[in-house]
Amino acid sequence: MIYNTDDPVILSEDKRAVIAVDQTRLPAEFVHIRLETAEEIFEAVKRLRVRGAPCIGIGAAYGLAVCGLNISESCKSKEDFLNRLKATADYLCSCRPTAVNLSWALNRVYSAAEKNRLLEISQITDILFDEAVKIHREDISTCKKISELGLTLVKSGDGILTHCNAGALATSRYGTGLGPLLLGAEQGVKFHCYVDETRPLLQGARLTAWELSKAGQDVTLICDNMSSLCMKQGKINACFTGCDRVARNGDTANKIGTSAVAILAKHYGIPFYVFCPTSTIDLSCKSGEDIIIEERESDEIKSLFFSRPVAPENIKCYNPAFDVTPAELITAIVTEKGIFYPPYDFENKL
């Protein structure tokens, strides 16, 4: 079992809960929450207490194992156990539609149970936990490899524009899009990090700025609409983002505003790099046109994180959480299996 309080999600020692950093309370408070039921896990992911595509996958995997243990103590038969486990997996999968790691991890854990359906229920529940731990361990290794590869794309002193939060809070240990910057800090490689605030929930301002400054990197916070000027002024040498789903043609879904950064980078001739584990690549998704875009509550624009509302109470809001960046705007996609350049065509490359 993995116990490291630096990880955003872990399994409790009694196997009865997922222990998670409540990311909505950062940077003011670093608080762990205990999630014991499917409803609590659903709410934590939906409200972005647990967030970041790989982190969501790890948390959901542990969560399904915890729920499986609970189900095993009240089920009437093995068939009842598997049916209720599948219903729980489907329920958890419905909380956020865009990030593929959620469904990938839940399917992987449930499939492990299904493949071993001839065993005793107690043995199957052990397998659920074993599979969730494997997912967590694999992500730790994956993030380290992605970070090492990413460092080869830049040099000390470069100005790096980040979008969203793709560090250790969103994954395990190093992260994806922030991984090279966090690993670089460990190795004495310094960057000028320009962190845009990133909607929804100001994840760049609250989380990325906190992580990078804590690691010792030079951090400058900017609003989302300032990146063009920073690029024009020569402050930016490369753009780093994570992503929540990659279509097989290389189109990527990431936090809202990512495509705007990519368009600007293309205009100014600045490399735009996407970092993700291969589990984020969805070969069943032909292109970005097939990716469902999550929409969120209007209060996240009008009042959340402000001491008083900043918009008229009854004003209509459009609050998509993601947009899709076309493959032709992406310089390279960095995974644990290597750096991929266009044309991507992942169906034939993986």
Q: How far apart are the first and last CA of the chain?
A: 30
Distance CA(5)–CA(50), nearest Å, equals 14
Torsion over CA: 98, 246, 27, 196 (sign): negative
The verdict on whether 158 is a catalytic residue reads no
Q: Which residues of 204-227 are buried (b: 16+ CB within 10 A; e: fewer)?
A: bbbbbbbbbeebebebebbebeeb
Please name the amino acid found at residue 151: L
Q: Which of these, 185, 153, 150, 131, lies nearest to 276 by C-alpha position?
A: 150
Do residues 39 and 28 touch, judged by C-beta distance below 8 A? no
Rounded CA Rg of the chain: 20
Distance CA(328)–CA(287), nearest Å, equals 12
- DSSP letter at 116 equals T
Largest alpha-carbon pair distance within the chain?
Answer: 67
Residue 23 C-beta-side C-alpha neighbours within 13 Å:
35
Distance CA(139)–CA(135), nearest Å, equals 6
Beta strands in the chain (DSSP E): 9-11, 18-21, 32-35, 159-163, 192-196, 218-222, 238-241, 245-247, 252-255, 272-275, 281-282, 322-325, 332-335, 338-340
Give me the catalytic one of 139, 244, 251, 323. Answer: 244
The enclosing H or E element of 261 equals helix 258-268
Point out the residues that are catalytic: 244
